[in-house]
Structure 1
Amino acid sequence: MMAKSLNQNKQPMNKQRKQSKRQRRNKIIVYLMITAMVLSTFTAGLAYFINS
């Protein structure tokens, strides 16, 4: 009950602000870096098994 009374003055939680171009670009770069790390780990593992 107490949480409802605190949230009455605030905007609804499901309505979000539009991300800026910089934030969107940073998010894409982070996802690309994570994908590159996973792929490099996978290929390093393949190279290890092929050479052994």
Structure 2
Amino acid sequence: MSLVQSAKLNGHDPYAYLKDVLMRLPTHAASRIEELLPHQWRPSASN
């Protein structure tokens, strides 16, 4: 629930945010994981 609420507080559609993050996780570098947090997230170009 905290990710959903954080996405809302940052002006993101929670469904779009979670869908994008879950699609990126398998190939996203662990050293850049902070890019996927709601306060820094930007939708991928394919969205």
Same fold (TM over 0.5): no
Structure with more helix by fraction? 1
> If the length of structure 1 is used for normalisation, what is the TM-score?
0.27
Greater relative contact order (Cα 8 A, min sep 6): structure 1 or 2?
A: 2
TM-score, normalised relative to structure 2:
0.29
